[in-house]
């Protein structure tokens, strides 16, 4: 199988690329900076440059692709959400979707499957309510961003292409994402809950993120949205306690909500609001999670 990945140099994309190559698949990664990433990617991957906006220079590659995985999008948690930054976050996602639609529409031999990234932020805040794929979208910035992100590749369904949507939670990995940023204060003994700690933390181990994506890529009956979160979400307070226990550090401190809002502005909603998202459709499809308990997941990652 030949897999084409946008956003393939990010945390999820890199882990997925490595997994596919280990199993003998061919992988092409679309990136705006191939020279910068070539020393950090597996040697057998093909890196293809793009301008971040159109399919110019790589559209012809669609003729040889079986599956497309669209993960491209600027990191939402790398700075305050100014109006300009929110526009860049949005456009980075929509441009990738538009470019793929442009390239695949023009191809004579089209990929049979497209896997489209999204996030559990699609649902917006829901308090303690359990969230499944049947829950309607929210109305805040992240929710509307996810709605547009998902819709960016929807026109490809008219060609009979099977489209799978990944509504991913917080991916836990040693290699990047949220977890490494959390470790320093905990190791210094000043880690603690954020705000009230009652907000839900829809986590997933990187092994299950990649495993679920591979499962959905290969399961021909899989179509539509799937929550990629562990079956047992925890609150921020429960996650904090588990991380402290695994690191053998106290978790007595707490960061007040007002301080997070002063520091991060609107982006503090990522830290102070969460979804009690469960992978209803993924479990019904037959995926078997490797990590369902937060403590076991952290022990695996931090041993």
Q: How confident is the model at residue 266 (pLDDT cuts 50, 70, 90)?
A: confident
Q: What is the mean pLDDT of the chain?
A: 94
3-state class of 292 per DSSP? coil
pLDDT at position 79 is 78
Topology of the domain comprising 2-174+203-229+276-290: Rossmann fold (3.40.50)
pLDDT digits (tens, 9 = 90+) for 202-213: 999 999 999 999
Phi, psi of 251 (to 5 degrees): -130, 50
- In DSSP notation, 180-218 reads HHHHHHHHTT--EEETTS-SEE-EEEHHHHHHHHHHHHH
Spans of all domains in the chain: 2-174+203-229+276-290
The predicted model gives 289-301 an average pLDDT of: 98
Residues 6+ apart with CB under 8 A from 238: 201, 294
pLDDT digits (tens, 9 = 90+) for 58-95: 999 999 999 999 999 998 987 789 999 999 999 999 99
The residue ranges of DSSP E strands in the chain, in sequence order, are: 2-6, 26-31, 46-49, 67-70, 113-119, 130-131, 162-168, 170-172, 192-194, 200-201, 203-205, 224-228, 234-235, 253-255, 276-277
The predicted model gives 250-255 an average pLDDT of: 88
Residue 41 pLDDT greater than 80, yes or no: yes
DSSP single-letter state for residue 137: P
The predicted model gives 238-265 an average pLDDT of: 90
Q: List Cβ<8 Å contacts ≥24 apart for 294-299.
A: 294/203, 294/230, 294/232, 294/234, 294/238, 294/239, 294/242, 295/242, 295/245, 295/246, 297/172, 297/203, 297/205, 297/230, 298/172, 298/242, 298/243, 298/246, 299/246
CA distance 29 to 164: 19
pLDDT digits (tens, 9 = 90+) for 105-119: 999 999 999 999 999
3-state class of 4 per DSSP? strand
The predicted model gives 169-184 an average pLDDT of: 92
Residue 226 pLDDT greater than 90, yes or no: yes
The percentage of the chain sitting over the pLDDT mark of 90, rounded to a whole number, equals 82
The predicted model gives 8-13 an average pLDDT of: 95
Q: How many residues does the chain have?
A: 303
Q: pTM for the full model?
A: 0.95
DSSP single-letter state for residue 33: -
pLDDT at position 62 is 97
DSSP single-letter state for residue 154: G
């Amino acid at each position: 199988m030949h897999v084409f990945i946008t956003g393939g140099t990010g945390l999820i994309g890199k882990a997925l690329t490595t997994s596919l190559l280990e199993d003998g698949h061919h992988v092409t990664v679309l990136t705006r900076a191939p020279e910068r990433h070539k020393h950090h990617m597996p040697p057998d991957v093909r890196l293809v440059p793009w301008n971040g906006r159109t399919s110019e220079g790589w559209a012809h590659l669609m003729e040889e692709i079986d599956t497309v995985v669209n993960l491209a999008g600027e990191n939402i948690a790398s700075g305050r959400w100014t109006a300009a930054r929110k526009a860049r976050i949005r456009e980075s996602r929509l441009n990738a979707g538009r470019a793929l639609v442009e390239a695949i529409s023009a191809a004579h031999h089209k990929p049979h499957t497209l896997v489209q990234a999204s996030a559990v932020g699609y649902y917006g805040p829901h308090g303690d309510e359990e969230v499944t794929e049947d829950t309607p979208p929210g109305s805040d910035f992240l929710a509307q961003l996810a709605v547009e992100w998902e819709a960016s590749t929807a026109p490809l369904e008219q060609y009979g292409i099977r489209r799978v949507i990944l509504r991913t939670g917080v991916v836990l990995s040693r290699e990047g994402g949220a977890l490494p940023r959390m470790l320093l204060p905990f190791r210094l003994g000043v880690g603690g809950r954020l705000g009230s700690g009652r907000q839900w933390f829809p986590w997933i181990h990187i092994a299950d993120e990649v495993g679920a994506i591979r499962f959905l890529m290969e399961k021909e009956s899989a179509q539509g949205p799937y929550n990629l979160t562990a079956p047992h979400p925890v609150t921020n307070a429960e996650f904090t306690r588990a991380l402290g226990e695994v690191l053998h550090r106290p978790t007595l401190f707490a960061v007040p909500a007002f301080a997070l809002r002063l520091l991060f502005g609107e982006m503090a909603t990522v830290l102070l609001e969460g979804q009690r998202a469960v992978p209803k459709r993924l479990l019904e499809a037959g995926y078997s999670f490797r990590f369902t308990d937060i403590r076991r997941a952290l022990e695996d990652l931090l041993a």
